[in-house]
Amino acid sequence: MKSIAITTIVFSLFFSTTLTTDNSNSMKTSIYTIPIKSITGKKIDLAAFKGKKILIVNTASECGFTKQYADLQKLHEQYKDKLVIIGVPCNQFGGQEPGTLVEIQSFCQVNYGVTFLMTEKVDVKGQNQHPIYKWLTDKELNGVENSSVSWNFEKYLLDENGNYIANFGSLVNPMSEKITKQL
């Protein structure tokens, strides 16, 4: 039993990953250890958001759901003391986020007054899937469920300890009671 615990600790330290075990004995990786950069190129320390819920949303500037930026901003303003919203630009669905990071940032600020956190543009599925989306969509990593990102403005909600709570599809408005009742 001691060798299993020591092996787990060594593995955890070696791979810089926090491992926890749930009642089903599956391993879960902490999202707080996954690196990602902001839209301005600065490293985002997800661990800085411990104690707040996190809503991660893949975004696009030329999508039918782009107007959800306004409600994401409203949600950010209304719940900023207990919720961090992270917008993640992605160009994988219909090429609807073709702009540069500067263009995306300007579009979001000018058209929707976005002040919530935005990241670099990433892939949310496929061979080059960003590790955050690998975590969000893989039960072995998030400890809850497998899912796939099917379109722009899919939303993933995490609790105050970085645990996966739920996935909300593109049709679920950010101000929907399905989301706000979780806050």
CA distance 32 to 18: 9
β-pair partners for 89 = 59
**Which residues carry out catalysis?**
63
Q: CB–CB of 31/143 below 8 Å?
A: no
Pairing of the two strands 36-37 and 27-29: unpaired
CA distance 150 to 145: 15
CA distance 183 to 169: 17
Q: What token pair was written down for 183?
A: 């806050």
Residue whose entry in the numeric block shows the structure tokens 């979780």: 182
Q: What token pair was written down for 125?
A: 């599925």
Q: What token pair was written down for 82?
A: 């207990």
